[in-house]
Every structure is written in C-alpha cells, then in structure tokens.
Structure 1
Amino acid sequence: MSLSAAAGGGRWVAGEMRPVRSTVAFANPWMQVRSDDFVREDGSGGTYGVVDKPDFALVVAEQDGLFHLVEQFRYPIRRRSLEFPMGGWPPGKGGTALELAQAELAEETGLTATGWRHLGRLYEAPGFCSQGFDVFHATGLTPGPHAREETEADMEHRAVDEGELRRLIRSGGIVDATTITAYGLLLLER
C-alpha cells in the first residue's frame, strides 16, 4: 500500500504510525490480540502488537479515614493482589463510566455511596494495550451485601487507614499500578 493510501489524507501527528493492515491473532469475550502493520510519515513501516480490552472503572472508596480495598488471586502474576475495587461491564452490558463504578463498588464490597467525584481518565498500559479506565472517589458509604461474580469467589474486602495504605504501597503489599496511580490522583485533588 502506498504512503498516501495509508495516510488516508489529512495531516500527520508527530511520531504517528498509521495502520495499513490489522490481523487478529486471538479473541475471546474479554480481549483481542492483534498485529498491526503500520507506516510512518517518512514511509518507513513496521509491526505493532496490540491488546484490545474494554475500558473499566476504578473506585477509591473512602470514609472516616478508611480506604476500602479488595484482595483476590491474580493468575498472570501468580499471587494475591490488594486493590481498589475495579472492573468492566460483562459482555452484552454497558452504561456510563459512573454507572460502572457504582456497580463495581456494590458488587465487590457491598458498599453504596452518596458522593461521587471523577478524578481522571487514564490508560492502563498504553505501550501495548488500548484499555482505558476512569477513576472515581466515592464517599458517603453505606454497607450492604456484595454480589461478586463466580470468578471473584476468593475475593476479600478490607478497610485500611491511610497510613497503612501508604505502608502497603511502599512495602510491595500493593503491587497493582492502577490502585497506586488512583491514590496519586486523589492526593493531587487534596
């Protein structure tokens, strides 16, 4: 394919790589892995591997000086992981980012919240994955029954004060980058 055909007209953005062909290597209801051939403005090209996953929402749930976390076994890292509640819509369902955050908090912890503040929108691993996520701060919490999915059967909910949260981050007790980043966004808002 020629550069002009690949460019599709329009102006180039500095460092842009425009796709000329995309091949799906693997797909299931939760993700897709593809290989994209691309071309740069100077005509050179290459191949890029991309993981496409649906976006998710993450909730920093805080009340009375306590932060609510969940812990579960994460197969890719072969260990349990302590994290803020988070997740995406199941296949066939959808809604706003806020609705997703509200659903995930209730599903994983049983908590509902009266106060919701959007802290930001980020991308989990933009070097190889298209998945984005919205971070919300939830306050005015009320406990209730959780409604965890079958894959979350081993999940445990616990609340820690901010000193313990920081100790867990510093000691490697929390290794989830999205949780640590979400806490950073909260600190920037204070």
Structure 2
Amino acid sequence: MGGESAYVVDLAASDDETHRDRLRGASSIRTLGTVRGVESLGTRQVYANPWMTVREDEIQRADGSSGIYGVVDKPDFALVIPLDGERVRLVEQFRYPIGLRRWEFPQGTAPDRADSDPLQLAARELREETGLRAGKMIELGLLDVAPGMSSQRGRVFLATQLTEGFHEREHEEQDMRSRWFPRAEFEAMISKGEITDAQSIAAYTLLLLHEHSQP
C-alpha cells in the first residue's frame, strides 16, 4: 500500500543486518514541525499513563488563523496474521472501552511506550498471545489507527511456517483465548458484524491484495 511492496523476512535468517535496518527505517514514520501549511506553535501534555499520552497543540493554519489540536500519542504497534493453509488464528479478549469481547488478530505495542523493531515486536506479540512461532514473516503494509485524533501507526505482518508452543500472555491479557478459524468462517463473521476490529479487517484487506498480486 502507498507504494510499498510486500517485504519477505525468513526468520531463520533474521540476523541479516539488511533485514533489520530496513525494518527499523520503516518504523520511523512520524513527522514533526510544519506540515502542509499547519505549523505547531506549542504543546502541553494533558495526561499520561504507561500506555499513552494526551497533548494539546497550539497551531497556526496556512491562512494565519490559530487553533488547537488534541492528539493521543501511543507507540506504534504490530499486527500479525497467522495463516496456516486456509485457516487463520485469532485471539478473543474483553475490550473495556466498548464493554464487549471481540475476536481479532494478535497485535500490540512494546511495554512502557518504548519504540521497537516492527519485526521483533510482531514475533513477540504472536508468541505472547498465541504461543505460535513463525518460520517466515511477510510485511504487508502500514495502517493509521485514527489519524484524525491519534499519531499511532502500525505494521501488518503475515506469519507462516508456524509451530505451536506455550503462550506468554501479560497480566492484562489473562482473560484472552485463542483458536483457529477457517477463512470462510472468518469472512462470514466480518459480514455478520461479529468481528469489528478495524485494524484486523484492514489487515485482512492487505492480505487479500497481497495474494491477488502473486503470480
């Protein structure tokens, strides 16, 4: 997407410096200062916790008028699509802000708002939430979560050559469960509104586009 081609990473050869350098470069995706006529004049932090910060920026628009912009800053995330033949692995957990349990692809951020190599983060989230280890990862693309209010962005990976293992879930994920779904059932759950996680649905679209591009 956005002119970026899928990038294949063989995890058996993941010590290759070229692979790591490219992925680190891909994670440097924020722009500061004047952007297309909107200038940031100042900022103040309104709220912070270990997972996010909220700031209010004073801005000046191209016509000289002033204003404010509230921004939620969260670290970049990685989302993983574990694919084994014609089935995908999902996780289900309680999402407190909406008060509902939801099935979605494994995804997450590094602890304490730290920056992390996207590939390493993807492998970690896959292992922690499902216990799966991937022999190969393909980077499918980039997602903006809610660009009207948040700076958070995420990288999507396709994980294949999977082996089962024990999960390593964090304390906040103690209610999580995981299982395989046939792709046809997964797509039906989207159609019926049973899967509503925007990142998961967008990531699946990237997978379909990737598959359509293959000879």
Question: TM-score w.r.t. structure 1 length?
Answer: 0.90
SS in 2 for 1:175: coil
From the superposition, tell whether residues 23 and 95 of structure 1 become closer, same or farther in structure 2 (CA, over 3 Å). closer
What's the counterpart of residue 181 of structure 2? 160
Choose the corresponding residue for 1:51, options 64, 72, 75: 72
**In the alignment, which of 26, 33, 40 is matched to residue 19 of structure 1?**
40
State the 1:95 CA deviation: 3.3
Residue in 1 aligned with 2:106? 85
- Aligned with 1:80: secondary structure? strand
Provide the secondary structure at the position in 2 that maps to 1:167: helix
Distance across 1 between alignment mates of 2:102 and 2:58: 35
* SS, match of residue 169 in structure 2: coil
Q: Distance in 2 between matches of 1:130 and 1:92?
A: 13
What secondary structure sits across from 1:91 in the alignment? Answer: helix
Cα deviations by residue, 1:47-95 (Å, 9 ceiling, x for unpaired): 1110000111000110021100000000001000110000111127653
Q: CA deviation at 1:147?
A: 0.5
Query: Deviation of residue 166 (structure 1)?
Result: 0.5
- Normalised to the residue count of structure 2, the TM-score between the two structures is 0.80
Q: Which amino acid aligns with 1:173?
A: E
| CA distances 1:141-167 after superposition (whole Å, capped 9, x unpaired) | 100000000000000001101110111
Contact 2:142 2:155 in 1 (8 A): yes
CA distance in 2, matches of 1:49, 1:58: 26
Is 2:50–2:113's contact at 8 Å kept on the other side of the alignment? no
Match of 1:101 among 122, 135, 154: 122
Q: Distance in 2 between matches of 1:186 and 1:80?
A: 24
RMSD, matched Cα:
1.4
Q: Does 1:182 align with 2:203?
A: yes
Q: Could you tell me how far 1:13 is from its partner in structure 2? A: 5.4
1:73 to 94, 97, 105: 94
More moved, 86-95 vs 119-128 = 86-95
The count of aligned residue pairs is 179
Name stretches of at least 5 consecutive residues in structure 2 with no aligned partner. 1-32
SS of corresponding position for 2:125: helix
User: What percent of counterpart residues are identical?
Assistant: 49
Q: Please identify runs of 4+ aligned residues in structure 1 that moved more than 4 A.
A: none
Structure 1, unaligned stretches of length 5 or more? 1-7
